[in-house]
């Protein structure tokens, strides 16, 4: 009889559920994809329902459920922190306690109540709720990074905002065991330092960090010395300590305090107001400091242990620019990064802790990795899709794969933008050819078209390339696989166009419209790109589409951005995809083997009220 373990993460941000069967990763999804509320933190009832339904089982078939952290330890940290800061932070303390007393302090009871509701939805006569176990926050991160990795032995480095107490931790994974090396505790946090600058530059914390990273190449790192002199003391081994008097995240509703604002001579930028060179320079500076810490930690871990592999997890591991620098420095022979390295991925880590540590089950190492390309979410058959299209009277054409890919390659070459809905949905924050919007990277107008008319987002934000795995070194200065779009690399020198002396003198956003390579839509202002390599075994249909584009144009790369608009979670169902297609200026929608042209769809009156449905991120 198969042994199922369900992992859960919820009640902070990015709720998720993940299911493993006899140690094999079977299904995983974030709750936001079903609830359509970005970073949804509520109990992941829809994600759990999907995981169970995908296997034709109910909760009574689950051996154990593992929650991703220990809430009482987090509560202890909150109490100690507020007591240490008292009498300051009173209002924030009262607000936090209200939430804790309502649901988090009695989390086991709350989870059991919600799980009973999920079981009732299956209308099963058996209403037994499985045993509940609790992992630790950073152990769940480390588990999600090491167990699915292709390594028999590895260093595991976890960096995030905060778990129970740990903010940065190092581990050694070997076989089925993960042993702790050391940790840095709250309030000294690299993740919260980066989030403080995210907040100060007017972006949303826990959401806008990647915007700050995208903004950094427009600036000069002129505030690095000031940051290191006043905010963070970085030791030679990479460990660090913050001067907490500049921050308020430990005792208030804001991330930064008056002293921080005085240090940089300005109040925090208000959301949606003008971004200036000052903000770009700040972004460049905190990015440089983050990279310094990551590289120093990596060097000291390699020297101390001699281990040649490293796995990364935690929100900071989504900083693909820092990851790219780590790759470039060749401190470790091999790097593997959990594609859902934020808290959503901890649901998977918690389930794997249950299997390998609680039940002491052996680990089977997959030399590629065990994430199945992270295509672990819901999928829809052609039959389900055509049934839906008939119901809404949407005109469509059906093509077999080989004809479909040839046709799409032609449409991409014409400069058309395609919504691509293919196979299982991705688990994690990146679209990887399951739920993607695609375009021609050679088209000079593609970046602004996609940003302003399709994604409705800031013009400075770059797009990522998907490249055939065997062509990566022809297009970029890297030869490593990057299946999860978590490594940044320079565009190949031969493809780059050097700026003239006059263009080189331009500042910030002024550089945006300068053609910098023969792939302008995916080349950032610093000639870098966030690369996804596509293999024929992990996602064969996506691979064949790019291959058809290569045969037609000679270019093995296409633009790949997430299938959503700003503030909206990535689409999950054909209904979500069709709605997004009709609300934007996308030209074509592909739902498995069905192709829909915008010009053939029923005319609808332009109504932009839907934009209020998604809060800007």
The C-alpha atoms of residue 17 and residue 22 are separated, in whole angstroms, by 17
The C-alpha atoms of residue 244 and residue 239 are separated, in whole angstroms, by 16
pLDDT at 261 over 90: yes
- Return the number of other C-beta atoms located less than 10 Å from residue 364's C-beta: 10
Strand 464-468 to 557-562 pairing: antiparallel
101 by Cβ neighbours in 10 Å (0-12 / 13-18 / 19+) ranks as exposed
pLDDT of amino acid 248: 92
Per the CB < 8 A criterion, the answer to whether 195 and 206 are in contact is yes
pLDDT at 504 over 80: no
Give the DSSP letter of residue 378. -
Q: What is the dihedral of CA 487, 305, 348, 26, to 10 degrees?
A: 80
The token duo for 214 is: 């995208």
182: which strand partners? 170
- Residue that is written with structure tokens 């006043």 in the block: 230
Per the CB < 8 A criterion, the answer to whether 310 and 155 are in contact is yes
Per the CB < 8 A criterion, the answer to whether 222 and 264 are in contact is no
pLDDT of amino acid 85: 75
pLDDT band at 124 (very low <50, low <70, confident <90, very high): confident
Give the DSSP letter of residue 104. I
The C-alpha atoms of residue 596 and residue 218 are separated, in whole angstroms, by 38
pLDDT of amino acid 616: 62
The C-alpha atoms of residue 353 and residue 573 are separated, in whole angstroms, by 31
- Return the number of other C-beta atoms located less than 10 Å from residue 443's C-beta: 20
List the single range of 136-145, 201-210, 384-393, 496-505 with lowest mean pLDDT: 496-505
- Return the number of other C-beta atoms located less than 10 Å from residue 593's C-beta: 18
pLDDT of amino acid 615: 66
pLDDT of amino acid 454: 82
Strand 435-439 to 557-562 pairing: antiparallel
Per the CB < 8 A criterion, the answer to whether 347 and 17 are in contact is yes
Q: pLDDT (tens digit, 9 = 90+) per residue, 542-586?
A: 999 999 999 999 999 999 999 999 889 999 999 999 999 999 999
3-state secondary structure of 64: strand
pLDDT of amino acid 612: 65
Please indicate whether residue 599 or residue 455 has the higher confidence score (pLDDT).
599
| pLDDT, averaged across the chain | 93
pLDDT of amino acid 610: 63
Average pLDDT score over residue span 262-286: 95
Per the CB < 8 A criterion, the answer to whether 556 and 475 are in contact is yes
Of 268, 254, 258, give the one whose Cα is nearest residue 92.
254
pLDDT of amino acid 611: 65
The C-alpha atoms of residue 129 and residue 220 are separated, in whole angstroms, by 55
pLDDT of amino acid 609: 65
- Return the number of other C-beta atoms located less than 10 Å from residue 537's C-beta: 9
Where are the strands (E) in 77-226, listed by range?
Answer: 131-134, 153-159, 166-174, 177-185
Of 429, 421, 433, give the one whose Cα is nearest residue 379.
421
The C-alpha atoms of residue 433 and residue 383 are separated, in whole angstroms, by 21
Beta-sheet strand order (sheet of 334-337): 177-185, 166-174, 153-159, 309-313, 334-337
Average pLDDT score over residue span 350-356: 98
Domains of the chain: 4-147+342-365 (3.30.420.40), 183-337 (3.30.420.40), 381-601 (3.90.870.20)
Of 76, 16, 9, give the one whose Cα is nearest residue 427.
16
Positive or negative, the Cα torsion across 269, 275, 276, 282? Answer: positive
- Residue that is written with structure tokens 């994974």 in the block: 173
Give the DSSP letter of residue 477. S
pLDDT of amino acid 75: 81
The dihedral region occupied by 253, where left means phi > 0, alpha psi between -120 and 50, and beta the remainder, is alpha
Of 398, 536, 393, 521, give the one whose Cα is nearest residue 465.
521
- Kindly tell me the number of DSSP H helices and DSSP E strands found in the chain: 20, 21
- Return the number of other C-beta atoms located less than 10 Å from residue 479's C-beta: 8
């Amino acid at each position: 009889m198969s042994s199922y373990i369900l992992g859960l993460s919820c009640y902070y941000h990015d709720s998720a559920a993940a299911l493993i069967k006899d140690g094999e990763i079977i299904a995983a999804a974030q709750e936001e994809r079903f609830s359509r509320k970005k970073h949804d933190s509520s109990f992941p009832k829809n994600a759990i329902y999907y995981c169970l339904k995908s296997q034709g089982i109910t909760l009574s078939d689950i051996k154990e459920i593992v929650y991703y952290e220990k809430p009482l330890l987090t509560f202890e940290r909150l109490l100690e922190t507020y007591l240490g800061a008292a009498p300051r932070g009173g209002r924030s303390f009262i607000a936090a306690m209200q939430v804790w007393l309502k649901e988090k302090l009695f989390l086991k009871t709350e989870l059991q109540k919600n799980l009973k509701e999920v079981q009732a939805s299956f209308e099963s006569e058996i209403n037994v709720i499985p045993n509940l176990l609790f992992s630790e926050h950073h152990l769940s991160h480390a588990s999600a990074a090491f167990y699915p990795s292709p390594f028999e032995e590895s260093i595991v480095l976890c960096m995030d905002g905060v778990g129970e107490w740990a903010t940065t931790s190092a581990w050694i994974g070997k076989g089925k065991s993960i042993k702790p090396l050391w940790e840095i505790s709250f309030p000294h946090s690299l993740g919260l330092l980066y989030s403080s600058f995210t907040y100060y530059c007017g972006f949303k914390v826990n959401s806008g960090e990647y915007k700050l990273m995208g903004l950094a190449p427009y600036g000069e790192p002129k505030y690095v010395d000031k940051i290191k002199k006043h905010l963070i003391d970085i030791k030679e081994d990479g460990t660090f300590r913050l001067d907490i008097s500049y921050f308020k995240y430990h005792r208030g509703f804001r991330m930064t305090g008056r002293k921080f604002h005085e240090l940089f001579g300005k109040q925090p930028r208000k959301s949606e107001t003008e971004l200036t060179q000052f903000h770009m320079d700040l972004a460049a500076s905190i990015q440089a400091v983050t990279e310094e810490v990551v590289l120093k930690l990596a060097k000291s871990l390699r020297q101390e242990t001699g281990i040649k592999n490293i796995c990364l997890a935690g929100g900071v591991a989504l900083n693909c620019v820092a990851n790219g620098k780590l790759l470039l420095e060749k401190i470790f022979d091999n790097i593997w990064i959990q594609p859902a390295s934020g808290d959503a991925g901890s649901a998977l880590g918690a389930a794997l802790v249950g299997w390998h540590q609680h039940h002491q089950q052996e680990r089977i190492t997959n030399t590629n990795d065990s994430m199945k390309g992270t295509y672990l979410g819901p999928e829809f058959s052609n039959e389900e899709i055509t049934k839906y299209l008939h119901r809404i009277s949407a005109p469509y054409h059906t093509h077999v794969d080989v004809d479909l890919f040839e046709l799409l390659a032609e449409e991409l070459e014409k400069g058309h933008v395609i919504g691509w809905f293919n196979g299982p949905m991705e688990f994690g924050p990146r679209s990887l050819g399951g739920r993607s919007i695609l375009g021609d990277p050679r088209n000079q107008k593609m970046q602004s078209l996609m940003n302003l008319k399709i994604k409705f987002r800031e013009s400075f934000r770059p797009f990522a390339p998907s490249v055939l795995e065997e062509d990566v070194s022809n297009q970029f200065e890297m030869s490593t696989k990057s299946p999860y779009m978590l490594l940044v690399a320079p565009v190949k020198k031969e493809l780059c166009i050097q700026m003239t002396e006059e263009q080189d003198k331009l500042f910030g956003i002024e550089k945006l419209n300068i053609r910098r390579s023969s792939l302008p839509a995916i080349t950032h202002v610093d000639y870098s790109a966030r690369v996804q390599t596509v293999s024929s075994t992990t996602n064969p249909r996506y691979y064949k589409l790019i291959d058809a584009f290569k045969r037609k144009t000679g270019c093995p790369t296409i633009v790949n951005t997430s299938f959503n608009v700003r503030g909206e979670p990535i689409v999950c169902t054909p209904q979500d995809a069709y709605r997004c297609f009709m609300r934007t200026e996308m030209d074509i929608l592909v739902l498995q083997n069905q192709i829909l042209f915008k010009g053939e769809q029923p005319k609808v009156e332009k109504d932009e009220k839907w934009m209020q449905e998604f809060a800007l991120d």
